[in-house]
Amino acid sequence: MNLIGDKPAPIQAGGPNGGKSAHIKDGTDASFMADVIEASKTQPVIVDFWATWCGPCRQLTPALEKAVTAAGGAVKLVKIDVDKNPGYSGQLRVQSIPTVYAFVNGQPVDGFQGAVPESEIKA
């Protein structure tokens, strides 16, 4: 989350932060099975469905990234741009963004829609 008065960081073409951390990556419809379903069989995976034009996404995504980084590899974050990758967002019935799902053992086990305060995000 941003401090009062701060402007949200712009979301870059590769997604917020460009997916540069070892535990954070940009996913696609083509990579979803490997990045999310298969990976969640050995480690919990958080999936962040977002879009470049989404203001609340600009607040939520950095908070998710911070929590995942702080978890030190206990969980992985996969960011899916819904405009470029509508397949799995449609299958999972994502109707608004940001939408976040947690996957364990290949299945979605929890999730939420909309931006939430950083204090409520724990990886």
Catalytic residue among 54, 68, 78, 100: 54
Q: How far apart are CA 78 and CA 101, in angstroms?
A: 10
Q: Is 118 a catalytic residue?
A: no
Closest CA to 99 of 86, 80, 118: 80
Catalytic residue among 24, 57, 64, 77: 57
CA dihedral (53, 58, 60, 64) in degrees, to 10, reads: 110
Pairing of β 76-81 and β 24-27: parallel
Q: Is 9 a catalytic residue?
A: no
Amino acid of residue 100: V
Respond yes or no on whether the N-terminal peptide bond of residue 98 is cis (omega within 30° of 0). Answer: yes
Q: How far apart are CA 53 and CA 94, in angstroms?
A: 16
Known catalytic residues are: 54, 57
